[in-house]
């Protein structure tokens, strides 16, 4: 098919900056916002973003292969024979993109294909659906992942064509292959966050704020081994794990990723998210309820990171489940079911970080207090963190993080023996407001929290810093001390109050000064009250 003639609307496809990418793609989302709700246009936009990236990366790799063949002295006929060797793409972690799935083909037919003699017409939505299917057939890791919803009645075909035109001027490549992947990965995460905000409470089902995920990753330090998330949402725990490894000069391929997700659409998002970031993960052959059917029954993980849905009242419960080693969780709340499932998945030296509602730290209803006591007595709890409010836009419930460790003795994960102890961190005063409704933790906040834990444990990352209790922030408690509180794990019970800052003014003098200032305020208040009464009297 001949290339489309360039119109005045076309521009040179220069590599986009991050701001340009985000602005362009959110503008793209706006094109469909009026005709469908957030959960629907999310699938359309993220699917197109993925398709555009895959095609750009394919084109870039194709040019690299051509340059290599030209350098080897091959002529055009020889190049044409070799340039479509699929192994040359797959071997460089680039998806093979069939011709009808390439962006150039879709851009040429953004208004669909008109019916002609002997050829049936196709809408642009049908073409995009066919492109998605072709991609999944050509790349087994994408099987069952990509959306094929572009020709539904509620997808405006004219707007979809305009959307493709808009994407046509956005490139994810041109900065090098790794940079291209990082650009798209950041765009994808940006949209997950934006869509989560748009969907409100339901958005929390697939998105955990990045700063919360980073607390878990920085605390656990999952450099290598098996990483598991039993309720993985869109895969943010895995993405942040990979970023952590890269920041510290490690090799992401030394981590094996395992996950499970109940919601079909969210499971597909996670599969796509991992593919975008070049992460090979096992998320099961399909979506499924972790309690009803564990997709990884024999897995023992080295690291578990999870943000289970809080306080689920309707969940798949079997009283004789072998996972309930510390007690049968109540039918009306799945919090301790998640905790025990996660502990059952830990390897001999495994560790886990789990985001929970604050009530889980002290609840005694329906046997939860007894389960918590057994967890403490089994010496599984390594650290408890109380987080600030408003970290989750989707819920006003205060949250905490439980950290578990199967082995707290001196070993690969710490030079200090912490058997029979647990660390409590009260981080409720940390963070900054992103806007009126949402708070986030800064890099310094995350470093303070994780650095305190690593000093307590004596890890290499502590760099020789010695741990010390800090009133109002952290405290290392023995199991005996925890037992005295009836096994309550709320950090505020242990860390105490921060010291009162000494401003150098003697207490007696400060009290006299404050009393004088207070009386002066009383006098001023009385004077103003008299003025107001006088003015009101004149009005009447």
Residues 301-321: tens digit of each pLDDT: 999 999 999 899 989 999 999
Q: Which two tokens stand for residue 202?
A: 């339901």
Q: Where are the beta strands (DSSP E) in 261-360?
A: 281-282, 301-306, 346-357
Task: Please report the pLDDT score of residue 14 as a whole number.
Answer: 45
Helix axes 177-199, 236-247, angle to 10 degrees: 140
Residue range 112-132: mean pLDDT, rounded: 87
Q: Are 168 and 41 in contact (CB under 8 A)?
A: no
Q: Which two tokens stand for residue 77?
A: 């006929």
Task: Please report the pLDDT score of residue 13 as a whole number.
Answer: 45
Handedness of CA 326, 331, 333, 334 (dihedral sign): positive
**Nearest to residue 291, comparing CAs of 318, 325, 329?**
318
Name which residue leads in pLDDT, 94 or 406. Answer: 406
- Report d(CA 74, CA 43) in Å as an integer: 43
Examine domains 18-191 and 206-495 and report if their fold is the same.
no
Confidence of residue 137 (pLDDT cuts 50, 70, 90): very high
Residue range 206-230: mean pLDDT, rounded: 93
Task: Please report the pLDDT score of residue 265 as a whole number.
Answer: 84
- Report d(CA 448, CA 282) in Å as an integer: 33
Confidence of residue 498 (pLDDT cuts 50, 70, 90): confident
Task: Please report the pLDDT score of residue 538 as a whole number.
Answer: 78
pLDDT above 70: residue 174: no
Residues with Cβ within 8 Å of 98's Cβ and at least 6 positions away in sequence, in order, are 134, 135, 137, 138
Q: Are 239 and 189 in contact (CB under 8 A)?
A: yes
pLDDT above 60: residue 497: yes
Phi then psi for 474, rounded to 5 degrees?
-145, 150
> What share of residues in the chain are helix, strand, coil (percent, to 5)?
50, 10, 40
Residue 496: HSE in the Cβ half-sphere, 13 Å Cα cutoff: 9
Q: Which of 48-62, 248-262, 476-490 has the lowest mean pLDDT?
A: 48-62
- Report d(CA 354, CA 375) in Å as an integer: 14
Confidence of residue 198 (pLDDT cuts 50, 70, 90): low
Confidence of residue 185 (pLDDT cuts 50, 70, 90): confident
Query: Which of the listed CATH numbers 3.40.50.720, 3.40.50.150, 3.40.50.12780, 3.40.50.2300 matches domain 206-495?
Result: 3.40.50.150
Residue range 521-525: mean pLDDT, rounded: 87
Q: Are 155 and 125 in contact (CB under 8 A)?
A: yes
pTM exceeding 0.85: no
Top CATH class of 18-191 equals mainly alpha
Q: Are 424 and 193 in contact (CB under 8 A)?
A: no
Task: Please report the pLDDT score of residue 348 as a whole number.
Answer: 95
Q: Which of 31-45, 327-341, 432-446, 512-526 has the lowest mean pLDDT?
A: 31-45
pLDDT above 90: residue 484: yes
Task: Please report the pLDDT score of residue 199 as a whole number.
Answer: 64
Quickly list H helices, 72-176: 76-82, 86-90, 103-108, 124-138, 157-168
Confidence of residue 181 (pLDDT cuts 50, 70, 90): low
- Report d(CA 24, CA 498) in Å as an integer: 47
- Report d(CA 46, CA 56) in Å as an integer: 15
Q: Are 134 and 105 in contact (CB under 8 A)?
A: no
Q: How many helices (H) and strands (E) does the chain have?
A: 17, 11
Domain layout of the chain by residue ranges: 18-191, 206-495, 502-533
Torsion of CA 238, 239, 242, 243, to 10 degrees: -140
């Amino acid at each position: 098919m001949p290339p489309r003639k360039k119109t005045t609307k076309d521009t040179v496809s220069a590599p986009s900056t991050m701001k340009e990418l985000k602005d362009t793609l959110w503008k793209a989302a706006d094109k469909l916002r009026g005709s469908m709700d957030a959960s629907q246009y999310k699938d359309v936009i993220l699917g197109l973003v993925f398709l555009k990236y895959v095609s750009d990366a394919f084109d870039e790799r194709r040019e690299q292969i051509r340059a290599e063949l030209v350098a080897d002295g091959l002529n055009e006929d020889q190049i044409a024979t070799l340039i479509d060797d699929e192994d040359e793409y797959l071997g460089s972690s680039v998806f093979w993109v069939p011709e009808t799935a390439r962006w150039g083909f879709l851009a040429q037919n953004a208004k669909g294909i008109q019916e002609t003699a002997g050829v049936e017409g196709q809408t642009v939505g049908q073409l995009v659906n066919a492109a998605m299917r072709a991609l999944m057939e050509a790349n087994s890791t994408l099987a069952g992942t990509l959306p094929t919803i572009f020709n539904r009645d509620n997808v405006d075909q004219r707007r979809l064509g305009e959307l493709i035109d808009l994407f046509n001027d956005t490139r994810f490549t041109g900065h090098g292959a790794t940079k291209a992947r990082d650009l798209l990965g950041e765009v994808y995460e940006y949209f997950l966050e934006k869509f989560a905000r748009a969907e409100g409470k339901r958005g929390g089902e697939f998105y955990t704020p990045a700063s919360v995920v980073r607390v878990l990753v920085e605390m656990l330090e999952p450099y290598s081994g098996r990483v598991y998330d039993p309720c993985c949402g869109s895969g943010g725990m895995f993405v942040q794990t990979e970023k952590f490894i890269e920041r510290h000069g490690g090799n992401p391929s030394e981590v094996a990723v395992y996950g499970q997700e109940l919601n079909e659409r969210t499971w597909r998002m996670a599969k796509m998210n991992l593919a975008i970031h070049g992460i090979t993960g096992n998320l099961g052959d399909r979506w499924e309820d972790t309690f009803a059917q564990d997709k990884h029954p024999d897995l023992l993980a080295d690291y578990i990171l999870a943000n289970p849905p809080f306080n689920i009242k309707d969940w798949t419960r079997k009283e004789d489940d072998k996972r309930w080693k510390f007690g049968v969780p109540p039918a009306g709340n799945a919090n301790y079911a998640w905790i025990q499932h996660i502990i059952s998945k830990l390897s001999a030296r495994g560790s886990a970080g789990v985001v929970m509602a604050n009530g889980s730290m002290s609840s005694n209803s329906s046997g939860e207090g007894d389960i918590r006591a057994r967890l403490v007595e089994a010496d599984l709890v390594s650290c408890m963190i109380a987080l600030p409010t408003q970290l989750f836009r989707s819920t006003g419930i205060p949250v905490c993080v439980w950290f578990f460790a199967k082995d707290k003795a001196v070993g690969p994960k710490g030079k200090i023996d912490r058997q029979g102890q647990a660390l409590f961190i009260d981080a409720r005063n940390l963070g900054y407001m992103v806007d009126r409704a949402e708070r986030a933790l800064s890099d310094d906040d995350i470093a303070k929290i994780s650095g305190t834990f690593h000093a307590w444990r004596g890890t290499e990352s502590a760099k020789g810093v010695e741990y010390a209790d800090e009133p109002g922030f952290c405290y290392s408690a023995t199991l005996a001390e925890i037992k005295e509180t009836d096994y309550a794990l709320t950090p505020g019970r242990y860390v105490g109050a921060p010291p009162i800052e000494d401003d150098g003014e003697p207490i007696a003098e400060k009290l006299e000064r404050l009393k004088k200032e207070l009386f002066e305020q009383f006098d001023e208040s009385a004077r103003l009250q008299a003025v107001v009464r006088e003015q009101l009297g004149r009005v009447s």
